[in-house]
Chain A
Amino acid sequence: MSQRITVLVEHLEGQPTDVTFELLGLARRIAKTNGAAVEALLFGETVRHLAQTLPADRVVMVEHPLLRYLAPEATAITLTTLLRTDPPWLVLIPNTSLGMDVAAWVAATLDWPLIAYCEALEQHDGQLVATAQLFGGKILADVKLEDRPTVISALAGTFATDALPPAPPGTIEHRDPPAELAALRTRSVVLERPEAADVDITRAEKIVAVGRGIESKDNLELAEQVAEALGAVLAASRPLVDAGWLPRSRQVGKSGLKVKPKLYFALGISGAPEHLEGMKDAELIIAVNKDPKAPIFSVADYGVVADLFEVAEALLERLEG
């Protein structure tokens, strides 16, 4: 084991996702305190162009057609092979749909410990401590990192990217794909992108977002009216989209879209971590919820503990009147 922090680079067909830079930023912050090296593992079909852009001391690149989409089996096998031959201290994997497929698999295969849903990684009394979210973020678990290779599955949208100046370009190393890729039991991988949406909520300046608190589909009309009166677009949290009340294109959150509007007006959204991940960077967040303990209030600028219907109606009256 060397004092090295390894980050798995996530991208979609060559487009890196934000979380990649968040995890590299995190790795570099830790490295700065203990002098560890930061390594980025870059897998894909043709990803050479990406290697130059990664702020890491070393980029290790594996190219193979089967790695094109970072599908579970090929990624996990490639990652395991590299880690086994040269174990680092920490392996940072995004806790995203793609990362979740591989983190636990790799850790179980190598018999290394894994800390999932990690939202903080900080020094405490000379010890590096990981904080993981449990029970939908209602409880946090502090875990001491030991002096052995450990896999960390880190939440997206949680760690800052811009804490350090750009890194000097590191070395870029090519590795051959592992031989096992020839015998995958994944027959095919197809990526589907949604058809163009009716509105692009990621570009909206103002968003009125509704959650479970809206109670029934009938009540969406009220939210729509408020949105219209504010000149905002209507978005929703996952449960409403799952229920089919609004199209996927309106879903804000980890499994939906990440938004950064000037105004995010949340009605009846309690603020599951999945949702907060998608909206906490909005410039102004106003949240209305019945439950004073709703996590949404931890990211909101202004909070209202009240019946959302009463507030929405009163607001509508003033906006229209």
Chain B
Amino acid sequence: MTIVVVMEQVPDVVEELVIAPSGTDLDRDAVSYVINEYDDHALEEALLLAEATGDEVVAVGIDTTGELDQALYTALAKGARRAIKVTGDFEGAWLSTRAAAQLLVPVIKELDPRLVLTGVQAPDDLDGQLAPTLSALLGWPHASVVISSEIADGVVRARKELWAGITMTLELELPAVLGVQAARQAPRYVPISRVRQVMREASIETREVEPVGDLAPSLMRLRFPAETSQAEMLTGNASEIADRLIELLRARGLL
């Protein structure tokens, strides 16, 4: 049986982000893309599930950047059996979560999986998260913020994290959709030589789609947070700073 993992490329926030002159998008030329870190966890969780059940993991992504291949090859190198790239004319468009979900639904239905996993959120979600959106469009039960899962007796048992160490474990009938916060274990390392081997030997399937009408909220502008640095910055060498800190703490009766 099949487990689908939906993976998205997102701008790498380690790099400096630049807002495009239009004011409503990032300067995509200055952006470099990485796989959404939560999607990487979703892939790991899917691989762990598949190792236990013998399911086949299929990695699916929408190629909005033209660079998705690398991420899909990495998924294959890690243990996904198939990789599918949804292509279309996405040039210059910021694909909303809703639109992405609409494009993905037919691909997922074609694969007929018993489980769909994706990251709990992506840094560029403006209109909500992909997992619950897919769940709504597919009509399958769902849970997000999942930190571990297990398939048994025709259900998936998903443990989601609330706060303060409180968790909620849900038994969902299959097929189901999970938004993964963290895999049971850290995403595995895949040696570069394996990725390169996969790039030579494996292939990525493509599905050409027509972009759908978008119901994204009307974005006025993007901006950087105001420098609300209310903090008084202490300068000097380490000992001077330490002296200042001691002074501060004494003054407030904290020492």
Contact = CB atoms under 8 A, between A and B. Distances in A.
Interface of A: 12, 69, 71-73, 76, 96-98, 100-109, 111, 113-117, 129-130, 132, 134-144, 146, 150-151, 153, 184-194, 197, 206, 230, 242, 248-249, 251, 254-257, 262-263, 284-287, 295, 297-307, 310-311, 313-315, 317-319
B231 A298 contact: yes
Contacts of A254: 163
Given A73-B142, A248-B165, 19 more contacts: A97-B145, A100-B144, A104-B128, A105-B135, A109-B136, A117-B125, A139-B225, A141-B221, A189-B169, A189-B171, A251-B165, A286-B245, A298-B227, A298-B231, A300-B230, A302-B232, A302-B245, A304-B233, A306-B238
A101 B142 contact: yes
Provide the main secondary structure of the chain B interface.
mixed
A187 B170 CA distance: 7
Contacts of B238: 306-307, 310-311, 313-314
B141 interface: yes
A130 B71 CA distance: 33
B133 A104 contact: yes
Interface residues of B, number: 81
9 contacts: A72-B142, A72-B143, A100-B120, A101-B142, A116-B125, A185-B173, A188-B169, A230-B249, A255-B181
Given A113-B215, A186-B172, A314 B242 contact: yes
Contacts of A129: 220
B144 A72 contact: yes
A189 B181 CA distance: 19
Contacts of B155: 187
B216 interface: yes
Interface of B: 11, 13, 17, 19, 26, 97-98, 101, 120-121, 123-133, 135-137, 140-145, 155, 160-173, 176, 179, 181-182, 215-225, 227-235, 238-239, 241-243, 245-246, 248-249, 252, 254-255
- Interface core residue of B17, B170, B246 (most chain A CB under 10 Å): B170
A245 to B, nearest CB: 13
B217 A113 contact: yes
A130 B143 CA distance: 27
A319 B243 CA distance: 10
Contact of B17 (A109, A139, A319): A139
A192 B232 contact: no
A96 B120 CA distance: 12
Contacts, number: 260
Nearest to B234: A304
A263 B165 contact: no
A114 B224 contact: no
A184 B135 CA distance: 14
A194 B165 contact: yes
B216 A113 contact: yes
Given A185-B172, A297-B229, A303-B233, A140 B124 contact: no
Contact of A12 (B124, B162, B231, B243): B162
A170 to B, nearest CB: 28
B254 A284 contact: yes
B141 A286 contact: no
Contacts of A306: 238, 241
Given A12-B162, A100-B121, A138-B224, A190 B169 contact: yes
A108 B132 contact: yes
B239 to A, nearest CB: 5
Nearest to B242: A314
A135 B123 contact: yes
A151 B17 CA distance: 28
B219 A143 contact: yes
A98 B162 contact: yes
B246 to A, nearest CB: 5
B128 A103 contact: yes
Nearest to B136: A108
Nearest to A253: B163
Contacts of A73: 141-142, 172
Contacts of B246: 315, 318-319
Nearest to A150: B217
B145 to A, nearest CB: 4
Contacts of A103: 128, 132
B142 A262 contact: no
Given A140-B223, A143-B220, A298-B231, A192 B167 contact: yes
Q: Which 8 A-B pairs have the closest CB atoms?
A: A104-B128, A194-B165, A314-B242, A303-B231, A108-B136, A310-B238, A187-B171, A104-B132
